[in-house]
């Protein structure tokens, strides 16, 4: 029997609202369906316009609302939105009209079967909650072979006799043990469906011991699991699996929405090498077979792609910042260069803690580890491969002025960017890749926060505006859910410009910075989605950002300010994909900064001379026959 349920991926888009319907729902549940084959819509946004609260539908199209009597706007990508008036009566579903002509490029994306399977909210994933991993692995560089076992503890969320674990199909499953006895299992692509002899009861806690072995394949931008040599010919083995799946080299429940509460890693390598992994080294065991086992303990929740091996001829140096340990591991031959370049880490950490709150993983410490690729945000074990140079060399020894305005060369891009992910990505983690802007947009914004704190506001504005040339505006920032699709690169570049726009809409830096810190602390070490971000900003800043989030995140275009001067009368309005779009904007009139409040209706400006739009503070287009 095929155990995989169908995966349906339909996400948000906003268009002009032209429909009003009366819907009756029971128990405050609402199911959102598509007119295309009557399928559930995942990622639909249900917006309570009275209470300024957004809800996001799950893979079943389900939303549970807080109160029964609400005026709601329901919108979903590739669909026409509707307005709803709910009461306490009967029906509990609503169907949105699908339109193949909306976001055509986005709809044309093709997703591989293995990616759809990887991203799926499979019922055999949903029936349990991860507690801990205890991963043991032996790495043989000569044979490029790995063998090990993962003890997976989990809690059942319902009665069931099957769970799902993920492991790449090229790796052998040697056995899966439960209470000392072998379990039956079935493999489908990279999913492993494990059957228990009797149903496991709801709320009960269990442990399986999953043994595996094989030759891991190199896959993805950084290879995921690679066997290399350093420039002295010594083995150098590393992992970096974001976007391809940590199941490439170890068995786990490979989804961002469920993290273990803690983890042990027992890594055995030839004794001439060292392994540096996440958390703290708690034991080292020299074995009689010429291998040494390094035991690392992570005391905090950790997502699977952050789990990291770094095996090589590493040496160590370090320092402290209060009670935070800062440990650096580099190849022996690069120690002198690292001691000079890594001096940037401590002041960076001061800046980030000032604006984002305490380092989230104090118990596990912070590490910066040399790697043969550019770098990755592995939790408490950030990897670095920027050639010990400022800028962004992209591992090709180029002196990369990353945003093209001269500011990038003042700091080491990889140290600053990848370390920012300790807050955005590792502490605050999106449930799904479709909301990856929460990782990358905010972490790219962290670069500008660092620049502003170290070099000043003007340099920060210059730096982040340099990203405009990298934005494509081809796809929406929000990607398709549950298909393991890494969204457009605009999640970085448009993301930082969107966040900077929010700052200047709020127009109160004291309140902005307090809000940013409140945001990172409210969601510290937890999962969230875009609706959560919108709800936080609405509540904290006591405003309605719905239309602004809609335009910048769910459409590929940005808003355009239209200025026209006719009969000596200066008029202005927004052109937007969102009906009723309104967003304040700063302009200079006769050299003085003023705030205007454009809408999608024409307005007349009282003073029509010498106007300039401060579009370095607001990411917009301007169409004008005035300027």
Q: Based on the domain organization, do 468 and 435 belong to the same domain?
A: yes
**Is 450 among the domain residues?**
yes
Find the CATH number of the domain harbouring 513. 1.10.390.10
The two three-digit tokens of residue 155, written as one number? 């809690």
Q: State yes or no: pLDDT of 395 exceeds 90.
A: no
pLDDT tens profile 425-482:
999 999 999 999 999 999 999 999 999 999 999 999 999 999 999 999 999 999 999 9
Clarify whether residues 97 and 114 are in a common domain: no
Instruction: Return the higher-pLDDT residue of 379 and 17.
Output: 379
pLDDT-derived band of residue 407, with 50, 70 and 90 as boundaries?
Answer: very high
Residue with tokens 């303990």: 297
Residue 25 is predicted with a pLDDT of 43
Is residue 113 located within the same domain as residue 253?
yes
Q: What share of the chain is helix, strand, coil (3-state, %, to 5)?
A: 25, 35, 40
Residues 601/576, Cβ–Cβ less than 8 Å = no
For residue range 473-523, list pLDDT tens digits in order.
Answer: 999 999 999 999 999 999 999 999 999 999 999 999 999 999 999 999 999
What pLDDT shows up at residue 11? 35
Residue 320 lies in a domain: no
**How much is the average pLDDT of 96-123?**
95
Give the end of a domain, one of 89, 108, 127.
108
Q: Is residue 409 part of a domain?
A: no
Please tell me the predicted confidence (pLDDT) of residue 568.
81
Please list the residues that pair with 181 across neighbouring strands.
178
The answer on 267 and 167 residing in a single domain is: yes
Instruction: Look at residue 592 and give its three-state secondary structure.
Output: strand
Whether residue 140 is found in the same domain as residue 210:
yes
* Averaged pLDDT for residues 316-342: 98
* The pLDDT value given to residue 625: 81
Confidence band (pLDDT; 50, 70, 90) for 524?
very high
| 296: β partners | 265, 281
Q: Does 290 map to a domain?
A: yes
Residue 184 and residue 131 in one domain: yes
Residue 308 CA to residue 379 CA, distance in Å, equals: 8
pLDDT (tens digit per residue) in 221-243: 899 999 999 999 999 999 999 99
Bridge partners, residue 87, by sequence = 24
Residue 368 lies in a domain: no
71 and 97 belong to one structural domain: yes
SS3 281: strand
pLDDT at 93 over 50: yes
Residue with tokens 């579903």, as numbered in its chain = 93
Residue 506 lies in a domain: yes
Distance CA 376, CA 421 (A): 9
The confidence score (pLDDT) of residue 90 equals: 46
In what helix (H) or strand (E) does residue 188 lie, and over which residues does it extend? strand 184-188
SS (H, E, C) 203-235: CCEEEEEEEEEECCCCCCCCCEEEEEECCCCCE
Residue 189 near residue 247, CB atoms below 8 Å: no
Q: What pLDDT does 310 receive?
A: 98
Percentage of the chain exceeding pLDDT 90: 87
Kindly report, residue by residue over 43-55, the tens digit of the pLDDT: 999 999 999 999 9
Q: What is the mean pLDDT of residues 587-607?
A: 92
Residue 242 and residue 162 share a domain = yes
Q: What is the Cβ-side half-sphere exposure of residue 553, based on CA atoms within 13 angstroms?
A: 28
Cβ atoms 91, 23 nearer than 8 A: yes
Single residue among 554, 576, 607 that ends a domain in this structure: 554
State residue 2's pLDDT score. Answer: 36
Judgement on whether residues 533 and 603 belong to the same structural domain of the protein: no
The secondary element (H helix, E strand) that includes residue 282 is strand 280-286
What are phi and psi for residue 602, nearest 5 degrees?
-65, 140
pTM, 2 dp? 0.94
Provide the token pair at 331. 């190849």
Whether the predicted pLDDT of 16 surpasses 50: no
Residue 606's domain spans which residues? 560-624
User: Considering the domain boundaries, does residue 7 fall inside one?
Assistant: no
Flag whether pLDDT at 120 surpasses 70: yes
- Please tell me whether residues 98 and 113 are part of one structural domain: no
Pair 546, 52: CB distance under 8 Å: yes
Instruction: Evaluate if residue 389 carries a pLDDT over 90.
Output: yes
Residue listed under structure tokens 């790697």: 371
What confidence tens digit (pLDDT) does each residue in 172-194 have? Answer: 999 999 999 999 999 999 999 99
Domain membership flag for residue 512: yes
Output the domain CATH number for residue 57: 2.60.40.1120
- pLDDT mean over 259-273: 98
| Domain CATH code at residue 205 | 2.60.40.1730
Which of 523, 539, 554 delimits the end of a domain? 554
Give me the number of domains the chain comprises. 4
- Looking up tokens 């559930």 gives 40
User: pLDDT value at position 565?
Assistant: 87
116 shares a domain with 260: yes
Calpha distance 271→291 (Å, rounded): 5
Give yes or no for residue 614 having a pLDDT over 60.
Answer: yes
**pLDDT tier for residue 145 given thresholds of 50, 70 and 90:** very high
Q: What is the mean pLDDT of residues 53-65?
A: 93
In sequence order, what are the residues at sequence separation of 6 or more whose Cβ sits closer than 8 angstroms to the Cβ of residue 220?
Answer: 240, 241, 242, 243, 244
pLDDT at residue 383, as a whole number: 98
Tokens describing residue 600: 């999608």
Inform me whether the pLDDT recorded for 19 exceeds 50.
no
- Averaged confidence pLDDT in the chain: 93
């Amino acid at each position: 029997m095929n155990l995989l349920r169908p995966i349906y991926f339909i996400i948000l888009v906003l268009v002009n609202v032209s429909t009003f319907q009366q819907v009756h729902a029971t128990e405050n549940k609402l199911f959102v369906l598509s007119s295309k084959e009557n399928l559930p819509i995942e990622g639909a946004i249900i917006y309570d316009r009275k209470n300024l609260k957004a809800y996001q539908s799950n893979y079943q199209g389900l939303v549970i609302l807080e109160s029964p009597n609400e005026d709601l706007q329901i919108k979903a990508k590739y669909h026409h939105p509707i307005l709803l008036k709910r009461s306490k009566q009967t029906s509990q579903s609503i169907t949105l009209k699908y339109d193949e002509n909306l976001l055509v490029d986005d709809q044309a994306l093709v997703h591989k079967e293995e990616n759809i399977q990887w991203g799926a909210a499979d019922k055999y994933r949903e029936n349990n909650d991860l507690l801990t991993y205890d991963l043991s692995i032996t790495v043989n560089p000569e044979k490029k072979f790995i063998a090990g076992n993962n003890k997976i503890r989990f809690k059942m969320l319902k009665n069931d006799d099957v769970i799902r674990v993920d492991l790449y199909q090229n790796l052998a499953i040697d056995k899966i043990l439960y209470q000392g006895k072998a379990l039956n299992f079935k493999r489908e692509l990279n999913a492993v469906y494990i059957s228990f002899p009797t149903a496991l009861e709801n709320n009960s806690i269990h442990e399986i011991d999953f043994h595996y072995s094989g030759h891991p394949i190199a896959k993805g931008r950084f290879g995921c699991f690679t066997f290399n040599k350093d420039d002295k010919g010594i083995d150098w083995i590393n992992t970096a699996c974001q976007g391809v799946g940590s199941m490439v080299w170890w068995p786990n429940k490979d989804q961002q929405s469920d993290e273990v509460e803690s983890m042990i890693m027992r890594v055995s390598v030839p004794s001439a090498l060292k392994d540096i992994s996440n958390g703290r080294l708690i034991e080292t065991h020299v074995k009689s077979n010429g291998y040494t086992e390094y035991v690392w303990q992570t005391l905090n929740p950790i997502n699977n792609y952050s789990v990291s091996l770094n095996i090589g001829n590493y040496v160590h140096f370090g320092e402290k910042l209060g009670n935070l340990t800062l440990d650096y591991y580099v190849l022996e031959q690069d120690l002198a260069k690292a001691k000079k370049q890594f001096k940037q880490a401590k002041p960076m950490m001061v800046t980030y803690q000032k604006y984002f709150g305490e380092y989230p993983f104090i118990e596990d410490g912070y590490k910066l580890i040399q790697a043969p690729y550019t770098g990755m945000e592995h939790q408490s074990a950030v990897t670095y491969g920027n050639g010990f140079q400022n800028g962004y060399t992209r591992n090709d020894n180029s002196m990369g002025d990353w945003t093209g305005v001269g500011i990038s060369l003042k700091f080491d891009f990889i140290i600053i960017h990848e370390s920012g992910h300790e807050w955005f990505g590792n502490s605050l983690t999106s449930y799904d890749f479709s909301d990856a802007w929460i990782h990358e947009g905010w972490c790219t914004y962290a670069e500008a926060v660092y620049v502003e704190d170290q070099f000043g506001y003007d340099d920060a504005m210059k730096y982040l505006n340099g990203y405009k040339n990298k934005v494509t505006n081809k796809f929406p920032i929000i990607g398709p859910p549950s298909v393991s699709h890494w969204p457009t690169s605009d999640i970085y570049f448009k993301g930082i410009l969107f966040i900077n726009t929010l700052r200047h809409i709020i127009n109160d830096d004291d309140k902005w910075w307090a809000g940013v810190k409140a945001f990172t602390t409210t969601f510290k070490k937890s999962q969230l989605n875009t609706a959560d971000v919108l709800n936080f900003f609405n509540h904290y800043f006591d405003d309605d950002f719905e239309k602004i989030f809609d335009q910048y995140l769910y459409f590929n275009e940005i808003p355009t300010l239209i200025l026209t001067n006719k009969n000596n009368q200066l008029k202005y309005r927004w052109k937007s994909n969102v009906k009723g779009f309104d967003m304040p904007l700063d302009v200079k009139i006769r050299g003085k900064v003023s705030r205007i409040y454009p809408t999608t209706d024409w307005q007349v400006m009282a003073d029509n001379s010498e106007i300039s739009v401060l579009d370095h503070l607001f990411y917009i287009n301007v169409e004008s026959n005035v300027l």
